[in-house]
Amino acid sequence: MRALEFYSGVGGMHFALSRVNLDITLARAFDWDQTACKVYSANHGPGVVERLDIASLTVEKLDSYDANIWLLSPACQPYTVLNPNAKGAEDPRAQSYLYLLQTVLPGLARMPSSDGSGRHPGFILVENVAGFEGSTTRQIQLNVLKELGYYVMELLLTPLQFGIPNSRLRYYLLAKKTPFQPSVDGELGVPGGIWRHIPGRPAEWREDNVDEIRSYLDERPVPSANRVPEKVLVKWGRLFDIVKPSSRRSCCFTRGYTHLVERSGSILQEAEELDVRAFLSVSNFVYGTNIHCYTQTTETFDEFLDAQKQEVSSCAASLEILAPLRLRYFSPSELLRIFAFEKKDTNDKFVWPEDVSNKSKYKLIGNSVNVRVVEELIRYLLSN
């Protein structure tokens, strides 16, 4: 089989497809971002990704690839809850996906084929942000796919369900020309029949089945390279989500990581021993009772905020209070492991061209899919 990848970014869906161990060729990928295309080529070879406006693709051009699988991750900005002015289908960034739905797919379906079923793909996978399920674009998508005879399944999934310590809830759509087995109609989930797990997998995730963050960290981190700037800590430190190496969850990392604070991703407290000491102190006080009371981080920040309120306190003095926590951003290589571009205990190595800045790396990763989740969805879509 042959596949096409739309809104390909750095090639997350290509990585996922390569791991399902089926005889599938990624015939072509499409994206507009020049840096993303450069990174894609560094990892998947030259001549695979084409930089263009997806709205310029014609029915005839896409038919020429003879692809039976479409993988798509359209722009999320029209639907994200982080954008208070999100316009959904009215947003210009939504137009290329609507063009594929309303013009290209029906055009391919009308083209003659040997079996009389049309030339549109047999399998489709779409990824977008949680919130897409409430959009008018989603309703247009469902109407078009059902008119073309597709069987459709929708899901809301997070990497936590696959043992990855990151709460990145995403909307997924699977579509195929033949029925899902067993039938997925009428599944009880969220309103609208959206699944919260892949059929055959557990409906709930357990925290003790999720990896600790420490297994995704660099062996020799460079704290100075990822240190949170002092001016950011002074002004916005109270808004950070702080995790430790033993944590089994982190907040969703977005394209704004390291230059936005709120809801852009967690930062790491390397000094985990501070909370361990606080825990032991409380445990000894109650004669060994197993009371989980990790208080040191909270107490340190309370002291920091109190110091900021004192007019006589300088910024330097308040920052000294936070210094023992050793706070830093996750590095790009650590995020690549969390996003499953690089797999633990393997020789997988993601390649960055030398001229790609750290800011661009964070942006490109934040725009990407979680490779492990997409891998499992492709496996399920094709296994039926």
Q: Is the omega angle on the peptide bond into residue 182 within 30 degrees of 0, that is, cis?
A: yes
Residue 37 a catalytic site member: no
Choice among 76, 251, 252, 315 that is catalytic = 76
Q: How far, in Å, CA of 245 to CA of 281, rounded?
A: 21
The CA-based angle 97-379-252, given to 5 degrees, is 60
- Both tokens of 318, joined, read 């308040």
The length of the chain, given as a count of residues: 384
- Strands 69-72 vs 2-6: parallel, antiparallel or unpaired: parallel
Alpha carbon separation from 287 to 5, 276, 281, 282 (Å, rounded): 59, 16, 10, 9
| Distance separating alpha carbons of residues 163 and 373, to the nearest angstrom | 10
Write out the chain in H/E/C secondary structure: CEEEEECCCCCHHHHHHHCCCCCCEEEEEEECCHHHHHHHHHHHCCCCEEECCHHHCCHHHHHCCCCCEEEECCCCCCCCCCCCCCCHHHCHHHHHHHHHHHHHHHHHHHCCCCCCCCCCCCEEEEEEECCHHHCHHHHHHHHHHHHCCCEEEEEEECHHHHCCCCECCEEEEEEECCCCCCCCCCCCCECCCEECCCCCCCCCCCHHHCCCHHHHCCCCCCHHHHECCHHHHHHHHHHCCEECCCCCCCECCCCCECCECCCCCCEEECCCHHHHHHHHHHHHHCCCCCCCCCCHHHHHHHHHHHHHHCCCCCHHHHHHHHHHHCEECCCHHHHHHHCCCCCCCCCCCCCCCCCCCHHHHHHHHHCCCCHHHHHHHHHHHHHC
Would you please indicate which residues are annotated as catalytic (active-site) residues? 76
